[in-house]
Amino acid sequence: MHLQEKNTIVAIEPFELSVTPPVMKKSDPLMIQSVAKCFRVLEAFDEAHPKLTLSEIAQLTSFDLSAVQRFCHTLNKLGYLDKDPLTRQHSLSLKVLNLSYQYKHSSMLVRAAMPVLQHLSRETEETVSLTVLDGAEIVYVARIQSRHVLQPNVISGTRLPAYCSSAGRAILSQLDPEKVAEVLEASDLREHTPHTVTKPAELLKIIDVSRKQGFATGFEEIYLGDASIAAPIVGSGGKVQGAISIATSVARFNPDTVISNYSSLIIAAAHSITT
């Protein structure tokens, strides 16, 4: 299928999602607090904080300076942090990417989905993605961008709210009502755009419709101009594993056209992925 571009797409500022680190429970007898704190140090680095001094890390993690110094020294020796000898700032090293690489190459879901994503990308000439649910968010674990891509900053590792994304709704449509309620309760139900649905009752109706029709949609609910359609990937045991999605723009296709063009394709693609 060859799709013709009809309009010029205007770039939208990237969506920023603040992820709160999990609370460390001191009552857990199996929890090694020093290991948990090391990960808190690594999680202090992000797009807004690419380079940090010891004092800045201490402020972001609420750890004392001497502890931060020991953690950073250890992480530097292990190769997960780099240190600038002039500015004395720390930053994540290339070795951190090894964890992502090993996840992708050891995940049965990613390995099963990649050939399907590649075929879907060639067939539609649109951006296609594989996502999984993590808490109240979806995480992009694989993504093939097209020349029509509207949000180039959405890449592997990007997190978005499940409640207002097509992939999130597709996954939620396969969960028990109690789990869906739990995810919505944990979500920050706010309007990212004027089109974002935030009322729990309306969201439950949307999820129910998605369950019945086998796919979910999202139109300009996170990014203005964005249109997407997704279908859930269900494993052999009947448990939802993730979702596969197609992203395009409302400047090129209206919602009805997105559904008529891609609903059958996305359902068939999701059903062809077995884990």
The residues that bridge with 83 in the sheet, in sequence order, are: 90
| pLDDT given for residue 14 in this prediction | 41
Which superfamily does CATH assign the domain made up of 107-271 to? GAF domain (3.30.450.40)
pTM of the model: 0.83
| pLDDT given for residue 24 in this prediction | 52
Which two three-digit tokens encode residue 95? Answer: 């070795």
Q: What CATH number was assigned to the domain covering residues 33-99? A: 1.10.10.10
Structure-token match 């974002």, residue found: 196
For residue 106, how many other CB atoms are within 10 A of its CB? 9
Burial 216-236 (b: 16+ CB within 10 A, else e): bbbbbbbbbbbbbbbbbbbee
| pLDDT given for residue 25 in this prediction | 54
Integer Cα distance of 162 and 184 in angstroms? 9
The residues that bridge with 144 in the sheet, in sequence order, are: 128
Structure-token match 């409640």, residue found: 163
pLDDT (tens place) for every residue of the chain, 275 residues total? 333 333 333 333 344 444 444 445 557 889 999 999 999 999 999 999 999 999 999 999 999 999 999 999 999 999 999 999 999 999 999 999 999 999 999 999 999 999 999 999 999 999 999 999 999 999 999 999 988 877 778 889 999 999 999 999 999 999 999 999 999 999 999 999 999 999 999 999 999 999 999 999 999 999 999 999 999 999 988 899 999 999 999 999 999 999 999 999 999 999 999 77
| pLDDT given for residue 150 in this prediction | 74
Does residue 269 contact residue 231 with C-beta atoms inside 8 Å?
A: yes
> Which residue ranges make up each domain of the chain?
33-99, 107-271
| pLDDT given for residue 26 in this prediction | 58
Do the first three CATH levels of 33-99 and 107-271 match, i.e. the same topology? Answer: no
